[in-house]
Structure 1
Amino acid sequence: MISQALKTLSFFFGLIAFLILGLMIYQSFLGGPFFETPMLFTMENYINTLRDPGFYRALIGSLVIAALTLLAVPIALFISIAVHKISIPGRAIIEPLILVPMFIPPLVWGFAWLYAYGPTGILPRLWGDVYGLVPAGILSALVHVPNAYVIISTSLLGIDSSYEEVARIHGARAIMVMLRILIPMIRPAIVFSAIILLVLGFEQFGIPLLLYTTVGGEVLTTYIYRLHVLSITPSYPKEAVVASMLIYIAISLILFQRYLTMKYGKRFAVIGSRVKGIGRIDISRTWRVVLLILILVYLIFVVIIPLGSLVMRSLNPLYGGRISGITWDYYITIFSSEYHRRTIINTIGVAAIAATLGAITALGYSLAILRSKRVSVSRFFDAASTLPRSMPGIVIGLAFLWLFLFTPLRPLIYTPLGLAIAYVVAWSIMGTRVIASSMSQLSPELEEVARIHGASSSLALRRIVIPIIKRSVLIAWLVMFIYAIRDYSIATFLVMPQTMVIGAFLVMSYGAGEMSLISALSSVLVFMILAISALIFKLGWKPYG
């Protein structure tokens, strides 16, 4: 019974994932809205879009931000080596701070950056002008350092330490060990992290919205947002064309990554094959202190000061200038307002529904991927969990909006369940990674023995598999909860007044200039995310290894 329910729920969400992807591409080849246009395919939409100078400006903007996001790779490489191979002092405290930006929405980082370093920030113009294409790309790189750090750290921790020991025995210095052994052996991870960062750079919406559109610029995601939200009459075909181009770019990058995985998997088979423990690079105490100071500078100026500025602005009665006093007025306004209280409750409620459905779906995906005897079934669920990550959040939100409005699923858009379903499709890959990683270490023989003794698949799942991986299921639930409450791009298209959540409210409040409420609600969101993140780390979870 349990096994069948998991299969049904997983198949439902897998089907929805392919449906929204197909719907967006299908609409891009139609001459009008899909719900009122006969099935007559045309390339006219692509031709018209490619003739639009505004599209090329947005495309160039996206390319530049994606390219600048790659700056996160050398920063992440430096931090990974310092933390895992050199063992700088205080790494147990430093590492969670390094991973924090991964959980906080880029939109909130944009607000925090403005409150810290903007023209009216606490440290105004410390880095020069924060508005423009290059500042937006640099901030995108800084907030995505944890994504590259996770991938590179996973590879570093899988290197056989005997190779470093042999090099040191033959007199190689620490710098030579890093340049001639470590970096060449983790080159695949460096390339993979670069590809992931390119995808994340192309899907950026919140940071360009705050830092680039303000000076008249656009990227592809803000271009779609303008076509749909800021236009009197939305152009469905043109929106679909631009969204589909983003999908084509992301899928191409993901397929290229898969190709490199297969290529490097054969070429670098030594990694993780016979690990003898984590090798440490011995350097002088002075250099350890220098590395520690450099990382602390990064954390102070990229993480601590912006988040501290965000909180201070929520306690400051005036936006602009120095902090002139402390007041709780903004928080009193929020918690005394029925609408704002409902927004916070909705955020938590939708996230709880999404996390519950997502954890169950991730369990079903993991079982299908790792335990299915049919390769086609395994590939279907692997693709169903992975493909939505090739779609920027704003594209997923737009696709679900069309799916809900113009199909029998329309009633769902007026309920928290509709938004939760979109979150499950978008973020199930995060829960699947956690559960699949744990389940892959569980021998199938345990389940086979149970079935030999007459246990059904459901009983084996309930009495053997779930009890063993229950901690991973809980962590998957918490991770899905965080990704649900941090979302703003999907919710921007799907929320109704009765289902308003914090992320969508921040986007709409920014358009209305309500900076005081933005700082307070952003701070509430950050506190919730930090509390849950602390719980996840307390449970022993690390996003690598």
Structure 2
Amino acid sequence: MLSTKGRGLPPGSARLLRSPARTSDAAHAAPMPRLPEPAWRNLAALFRWLVIAVLAASVLLPLSFIVLQSLLSAPFFDADKTFGIDGYRFIFSDPDFWHAAKNSLIIASGMLLISIPFGGVLAFLMTRTDLPGRRWLEPLLLTPVFVSPMVLAFGYVIAAGPVGFYSVWWQEWFGVEAAPWSVYSVFAIMVIVGLTHVPHVYLYSSAALRNLGSDVEEAARVAGARPFRVALDVSLPMTMPSLLFSGVLVFFLGFEVFGLPLVLGDPEGHFVLATYLYKLANKLGVPSYHLMAAVAMCIVAVTFPLVLLQRHLLKSANKYVTVKGKAGRHTVLPLGVWRWIALAIVALWLFLTVIVPISGIVLRSLVSHWGAGVSLAQALTLANFAELFEQDNLVRAILNTLGIGVIGGALAVGFYSLVAFAGHRRSDWGAKLIDYIVLLPRAVPGLLAGLAFLWLFLFVPYLKELKNSMWSIWIAYTVVWLAYGMRLIQSALLQVGPELEEAARCVGATRSRASMDVILPLVRFGLLAAWLLIFMIFEREYSTAVYLLSPGTEVIGALLVSLWASGAVDQVAALSVVNIAMVAAGLGVALRFGVKLNG
């Protein structure tokens, strides 16, 4: 796949490695008009700085609205507003803020402790060992990625809540008054959120492992190391950049997580920072945008040091390069009897994170009501789906969500790739600016990011026309998930050795030509994997679009929030099943045409 007539280079790159004499002969035989080399370079440099300018504007403009709003005593459209720190003074004196901050820190730390090691080990088992059923397990592993956290939370309540399907069945089977578990505690939220974010780490780590030759692992095996020791001492350390990227992003998500704590924590009064933001309007009885912005700036103050830490760690990323001029061999490590123990652990994780919530959603969508003493056979119905397709706004939401995932996801990956190439293997201030900017959107909760984009589209000239179009939602989604998409692409770029680009540059190729003919073919499967990931993320996104909805621009994720708040559980369940089926169909088509999920 990576060879060109035995050279170990991607197709098309051979023409860049011709001898100078043959290149000169070809030029005399068939001269082609072209711009002078300096003009090409100036044009490429201009395009690069244009990409950086668009990136900076798309991230810093919404963030500037949040900073400004946090320094006002009232919403910025209030005529009585004044500059000051009244918002910060209010939240710092509110015990609920400190309760939410403590819970957010506990949950974010728990997510790291659960998702990073398990995601890395899961990637090793799926890509480097003879684990049974790897081919059909992989699509199931990605299920928590594309299912909305709001839907997962709803599924856990319906399946394992006090009157959930599994709780009622447990009571009937064992003759007890209550099931021996609860989904309404901080510990339960931490475990559930940690387990459901394992696929995020898995996608990063498995993409790197698939680009890792197995020569080093075989050497460790020859020296007598067992598979578990090979994973800990050889394979996983070689994917450290991917684990670092996913670790920072998972920690960001821990401070942003909203759907699961809202549904599971609200009944017992357990706040996190994101749900505290959501509840602030009810504290004063009026819009509290200045308080929400103040909380968002507190979150940025916590997460921005992580940006500096990651940039420091990236300086040593080159030592993990594993794809060079010669393609590596891939062999699987035999687990022996441990393969069945490993399969049982993976199956248990799938049961807890996929089967339990999804079965709850599906069953709830097929019954008219549920509770203790209700017969499942007598409550079955398809009325929920019939009602779903009778409402125009719900049908539009389905079509718009599919479009934003397929078309918008492809456009987003294209933009992420342009930004990644603009900073790839550069050390100027433009590359440093990219490093600092790309992680900033993930420091802002999606709910408030959507509100900032609403202000942007309403009050920035020439952007008002975008407010009532799907472009507004696409721009917001693309910026909010900038760090996630960027790091996925950069992790693939880091696996390509610099000597391939240097060989092309030595024979006269420009930087852009080397990127197109050498780097891009090597990372093409990584770009396909990025599209699939962004497709699923856009399909399940819910909080960012809440404030951007208008007639004609409905999307499933945002509608689920409003439907859940109104108590329309039948429509929530039916719409969730349609969403899952829609993404599963797209995933099946991708697999049918040979798209590799992890590059």
TM-score tier by shorter-chain length is 0.7 to 0.9
Aligned mate of 1:427, from 481, 498, 509: 481
Identity over aligned pairs, percent: 32
Q: Which runs of 5+ in 1 are unaligned?
A: none
Instruction: Give the equivalent residue in structure 2 for 1:210.
Output: 263
Aligned mate of 1:297, from 343, 348, 353: 348
- Matching of residues 420-459 of structure 1 within 5 Å: 420-432=474-486, 443=501
Task: Give the CA deviation at 1:250.
Answer: 2.3
Deviation sequence 1:332-355 (CA, Å, 0-9, x none): 101112232222233334445633
Task: Give the CA deviation at 1:288.
Answer: 1.4
Deviation sequence 1:276-296 (CA, Å, 0-9, x none): 544644332x32122212212
Instruction: Give the equivalent residue in structure 1 for 2:24.
Output: none
Aligned mate of 1:282, from 311, 322, 334: 334
Deviation sequence 1:278-324 (CA, Å, 0-9, x none): 4644332x321222122122213321332133122211122435523
Decide whether aligned partners of structure 1 residues 432 and 192 sit closer, same or farther in structure 2, where only a CA change above 3 A counts: closer
Task: Give the CA deviation at 1:358.
Answer: 2.1
Instruction: Give the equivalent residue in structure 1 for 2:26.
Output: none
Task: Give the CA deviation at 1:55.
Answer: 0.7
Task: Give the CA deviation at 1:418.
Answer: 1.6
Q: Are residue 61 (structure 1) and residue 112 (structure 2) matched? A: no
Instruction: Give the equivalent residue in structure 1 for 2:163.
Output: 120
Instruction: Give the equivalent residue in structure 2 for 1:241.
Output: 294
Q: Which stretch has the larger CA shift, 301-310 or 430-439?
A: 430-439
C-alpha distance in 1 between matches for 2:406 and 2:229: 50
Secondary structure at 1:251 match in 2 = helix
Give yes or no for contact 1:359–1:480 (8 Å, CA) kept in 2: yes
Task: Give the CA deviation at 1:193.
Answer: 4.2
Secondary structure at 2:104 match in 1 = helix
Secondary structure at 1:282 match in 2 = coil
Decide whether aligned partners of structure 1 residues 352 and 11 sit closer, same or farther in structure 2, where only a CA change above 3 A counts: farther
Q: Which stretch has the larger CA shift, 54-63 or 254-263?
A: 254-263
Instruction: Give the equivalent residue in structure 1 for 2:170.
Output: none
Task: Give the CA deviation at 1:251.
Answer: 2.2
Instruction: Give the equivalent residue in structure 1 for 2:87.
Output: 45
C-alpha distance in 1 between matches for 2:230 and 2:144: 30
Give yes or no for contact 1:133–1:217 (8 Å, CA) kept in 2: yes
Secondary structure at 1:48 match in 2 = helix
Task: Give the CA deviation at 1:58.
Answer: 1.2
Aligned mate of 1:72, from 93, 112, 115: 115
Aligned mate of 2:285, from 227, 232, 241: 232
C-alpha distance in 2 between matches for 1:170 and 1:473: 36
Task: Give the CA deviation at 1:151.
Answer: 3.6
Give yes or no for contact 1:319–1:515 (8 Å, CA) kept in 2: no
C-alpha distance in 2 between matches for 1:170 and 1:7: 50
Task: Give the CA deviation at 1:515.
Answer: 0.6
Give yes or no for contact 2:362–2:573 (8 Å, CA) kept in 1: yes
Q: Which stretch has the larger CA shift, 159-168 or 307-316?
A: 159-168
Q: Are residue 342 (structure 1) and residue 385 (structure 2) matched? A: no
Secondary structure at 1:494 match in 2 = coil
Decide whether aligned partners of structure 1 residues 448 and 543 sit closer, same or farther in structure 2, where only a CA change above 3 A counts: farther
Q: Which stretch has the larger CA shift, 437-446 or 515-524?
A: 437-446
For residue 413 of structure 1, what is the amino acid of its counterpart?
Answer: K
Q: Which has the larger radius of gyration?
A: 2
Give yes or no for contact 2:69–2:290 (8 Å, CA) kept in 1: yes
Deviation sequence 1:11-69 (CA, Å, 0-9, x none): 43541211112221232233343456899864443233211111111111211221222
Decide whether aligned partners of structure 1 residues 255 and 38 sit closer, same or farther in structure 2, where only a CA change above 3 A counts: farther
Give yes or no for contact 1:10–1:364 (8 Å, CA) kept in 2: no
C-alpha distance in 2 between matches for 1:473 and 1:189: 15
- Matching of residues 84-95 of structure 1 within 5 Å: 84-95=127-138
C-alpha distance in 1 between matches for 2:531 and 2:52: 16
Secondary structure at 1:80 match in 2 = helix
Task: Give the CA deviation at 1:88.
Answer: 0.8
For residue 493 of structure 1, what is the amino acid of its counterpart?
Answer: Y
Deviation sequence 1:444-497 (CA, Å, 0-9, x none): 877998988xxx98x999999999988776665554443222111101122124
Q: Are residue 388 (structure 1) and residue 441 (structure 2) matched? A: yes
Q: Which runs of 5+ in 2 are unaligned?
A: 1-39, 168-177
Q: Are residue 483 (structure 1) and residue 537 (structure 2) matched? A: yes
C-alpha distance in 1 between matches for 2:446 and 2:490: 24
Give yes or no for contact 1:365–1:385 (8 Å, CA) kept in 2: no
C-alpha distance in 2 between matches for 1:436 and 1:67: 25
C-alpha distance in 1 between matches for 2:508 and 2:208: 36
C-alpha distance in 2 between matches for 1:476 and 1:157: 14
Secondary structure at 2:165 match in 1 = coil
Aligned mate of 2:577, from 503, 523, 529: 523
C-alpha distance in 2 between matches for 1:471 and 1:429: 19
C-alpha distance in 2 between matches for 1:466 and 1:272: 13
Task: Give the CA deviation at 1:231.
Answer: 5.5
For residue 23 of structure 1, what is the amino acid of its counterpart?
Answer: F
Decide whether aligned partners of structure 1 residues 39 and 444 sit closer, same or farther in structure 2, where only a CA change above 3 A counts: farther
Instruction: Give the equivalent residue in structure 2 for 1:358.
Output: 412
Q: Which stretch has the larger CA shift, 206-215 or 334-343?
A: 334-343
Instruction: Give the equivalent residue in structure 2 for 1:100.
Output: 143
Give yes or no for contact 1:319–1:516 (8 Å, CA) kept in 2: no
Q: Which stretch has the larger CA shift, 318-327 or 390-399?
A: 318-327
Decide whether aligned partners of structure 1 residues 504 and 165 sit closer, same or farther in structure 2, where only a CA change above 3 A counts: closer
